[in-house]
Amino acid sequence: MVEVSDLVCEDRVHRRLYTESDIFVTEMERIFERTWVFIGHESEVPEPGDYRTTFIGRQPVILSRHTDGHVYVLLNRCMHRGALVCRQEAGNTTVFRCMYHGWMYNTCGALVAVPFPGGYGDDFRREDYGLRMAPRVGSYRGFVFASLQPEGESLEDHLGIARSYMDLIVDAAPAGTLSVRSGVQRYTYPANWKLQIENLLDGYHPNFTHQIAFEISERRRGTSGRKGNTEGSGATARSFGRGHGALHYSAVQRYRWDEAQGATAEYRRAVEHTLGPKRAAEVLGADVQLFVFPNLFFQNARQHFRVIRPVAVDRTEVCAYPYTLDGAPEELGRQQVKGLAWWASAAAFGQPDDLEAFVRCQEGLQVTSAEWVLFARGTHRERLVEGEIIGDVTDEVPQRGFYREWKRRMVDPTKHG
Amino acid sequence: MATRPEIEDLLYHEARLLDERRFEEWLDLFTQNARYVMPSGDSEDTGIETPILDDDRLTLEDRVLRLRNPASYAQSPPSRTVHLVQNVQVEPDGPAAVNVHCVLVVYEARLESVRSFAARCFYRLIPEDGGTTWRIAMKRVELVNRDQHLYNLTFLF
């Protein structure tokens, strides 16, 4: 394999990052199976015995709420012969019983029963065969992360400035917490996972890729994201270390609150009551898209987050979860849950055009005589402000930040937790 | 009183309009207050479980405008489809409404792929134009794979 360090420069990355299977395998080992990865939200497993299954990179895991009240991230693999111990997407149980030979584990992974134990010698110790678990699990504002590496940077340090953005998003809930129980938009596309991440933090493409969505939105609602994604709009693209980044549209307010709705006024009062007028104005005026390296993305204007799952070098699955704001009028949440389909479903007016772009990139990147993918936009005008690199919304600041972290982890993974 | 052959004719006509890309005529099959829903799971309530789509009449018109627009990149080139309607059952609901259940199989070709989709469909039809025409007041398409990871459903079911 070519040296990974030669494939990423400050303002460009090599096409092989999108096309080579061996690079994909290394990404799973050195990024997803080492760093903090988003697993799920605490509101998905509120009660003891609640669980839901997901993945860390390629590896199946169970997010489980044990009777001690804590959440555990268990590797979904029977310690006997390797079968998944849980096939359900979500549910409530006291034990995970392997269907193959009946080995039973409790909700923190301890092996509690082995059928016909006489077949094992006296030296067989059940405690040696508990489910493997993620050695580090952490939670911030209800968002649960895990790392498969026993030691390393704390979750708080990993999140860094991303925490203040998560605060901005979660503080919009008058009760201070979000709930994730409104279904999911699941989509897949035949192209590399990094294309989705580059796109979520790309304020340059919307005027072109989403021309139709903007036209329709303007005709129906009198507003769209078009102006916010124009050079010089006042919106900004940002990078703040560890690969995290954001698009910050608060200065341009792409989406207006529907003030005619009684529920909107009621909601505003509730937020002001909780946060006081100054912070409430900041939170209610916030229009941000946040990416938390390596697999979590928020868009607060459309009240959802997405989880990106790389499946193969040219196959990616994404789940977009609408969330509701605890303490806000129910009607506001219902509109958002229903409305997410307009932009982000497989039949939507927005997202399918992005996926078409990814597929065209995946095909175009087969050209070998042009080796580099350019992320040079705005290099000459970015500035550092209080730990954030900030550029025009159309600049490729977040992409450069993402690939700096990608390179750091891919080149020498032993140094980073 | 609607007969099954009469309703089947309507459904076959709808399928043909879609396959012949006569989308404006297809819109005329719907009432002005029509609702068109594709759920993503098993809930009836799209405010509790986010749907694949939940369109009112205006949004349906937007879909047709999109299909006619060359900047609709997810439909450039456009999908070619065949809609097969089967297992039609008709349940009159009073004198002024009919509930219909049928199954739908759609073959869709675009670029180098041919994909097949199966769905159960539920319609509510009401008579308009002085009782001479049945129009679609509600159409609900339940894909068998609606809870799986989906890709590019920007053509019409």
Domain ranges of chain A: 37-140, 160-411
Residue owning tokens 């580090």: A136
Query: CA distances (Å), A110 to each of A72, A124, A283, in order?
Result: 11, 14, 43
Is B86 in the A-facing interface, judged by CB distances under 8 Å? Answer: no
Distance in angstroms (rounded) separating the CA atoms of residues A191 and A315: 5
Helix, strand, or coil here: A29?
helix
Residues A148, A154, A157: CA angle, nearest 5 degrees: 130
Q: Which amino acid is at B35?
A: R
C-beta atoms of B153 and A183 within 8 A: no
Residues B42, B45, B50: CA angle, nearest 5 degrees: 75
Please state the rounded mean pLDDT for residues B135-151: 98
Whether A133 shows a pLDDT value over 60: the answer reads yes
Is there a domain that residue B47 lies in? Answer: yes
Nearest CA in chain B to A317: B149
Whether B61 shows a pLDDT value over 80: the answer reads yes
Q: In what order do the strands lie in the sheet with A59-65?
A: A71-75, A59-65, A50-56, A90-92
Phi and psi at residue B106, in whole multiples of 5°? -120, 130
Alpha helices in A7-125 (DSSP H): 16-19, 21-27
Is there a domain that residue B113 lies in? Answer: yes
Please state whether A390 falls in left (phi above 0), alpha (psi between -120 and 50) or beta: beta
C-beta atoms of A347 and B38 within 8 A: yes
| Spatial CA neighbour of A142 closest among A321, A266, A275 | A321
More confident residue, A166 or A416: A166
Is there a domain that residue B71 lies in? Answer: yes
Spell out where chain B has E strands.
30-38, 53-56, 80-92, 98-110, 113-128, 133-143
Is A211 in the B-facing interface, judged by CB distances under 8 Å? Answer: yes
Architecture (CATH level 2) of domain A37-140: 3-layer Sandwich (2.102)
pLDDT, tens digit, 9 for 90 and up, residues A223-235: 888 888 999 999 9
CATH topology of domain A160-411: Naphthalene 1,2-dioxygenase Alpha Subunit; Chain A, domain 1 (3.90.380)
Q: Are A220 and A373 in contact (CB under 8 A)?
A: no
Helix, strand, or coil here: A287?
coil
pLDDT, tens digit, 9 for 90 and up, residues A311-335: 999 999 999 999 999 999 999 999 9
- Give Dmax over CA atoms of chain B in angstroms: 48
Write out chain B residues lying below 8 Å of A189, CB-based. 151
Helix, strand, or coil here: A216?
helix
Please state the rounded mean pLDDT for residues A379-399: 98
Determine the residue among B48, B50, B67, B68 to mutate to test chain A binding: the one whose Cβ has the most chain A Cβ atoms within 10 Å.
Answer: B50
On whether ipTM exceeds 0.85, the answer is: yes
Please state the rounded mean pLDDT for residues A267-292: 96
Radius of gyration of chain A (CA): 22
pLDDT, tens digit, 9 for 90 and up, residues B4-58: 999 999 999 999 999 999 999 999 999 999 999 999 999 999 999 999 999 999 9
At B69, which CATH number? Answer: 3.10.450.50
Is there a domain that residue B44 lies in? Answer: yes
Q: What percentage of chain A carries pLDDT values higher than 70? A: 98
Please state the rounded mean pLDDT for residues B136-147: 98
| Spatial CA neighbour of A71 closest among A54, A83, A57 | A54
Is there a domain that residue B153 lies in? Answer: no
Distance in angstroms (rounded) separating the CA atoms of residues A20 and A5: 15
Contacts 24+ apart (CB under 8 A), A247-252: A247/A201, A247/A203, A247/A288, A247/A289, A247/A393, A247/A398, A248/A287, A248/A288, A248/A393, A249/A287, A249/A288, A249/A289, A249/A301, A249/A393, A250/A285, A250/A286, A250/A287, A250/A288, A252/A227, A252/A228, A252/A287
Q: Which domain range does residue B133 map to? A: 4-143
Which pLDDT belongs to residue A2?
Answer: 64
How many angstroms away from the CA of A153 is the closest CA of chain B?
33
Number of folded domains in chain B? 1
Distance in angstroms (rounded) separating the CA atoms of residues B136 and B123: 7
| Sequence-distant (≥ 6) Cβ neighbours of residue A219 within 8 angstroms | none
Write out chain B residues lying below 8 Å of A353, CB-based. 72-74
Whether A181 shows a pLDDT value over 60: the answer reads yes
CA A307 to chain centre: 4
Please state the rounded mean pLDDT for residues B123-143: 96
Nearest CA in chain A to B154: A347
pLDDT, tens digit, 9 for 90 and up, residues A59-100: 999 999 999 999 999 999 999 999 999 999 999 999 999 999
Is there a domain that residue B149 lies in? Answer: no
Which pLDDT belongs to residue A259?
Answer: 72
Distance in angstroms (rounded) separating the CA atoms of residues A301 and A286: 8
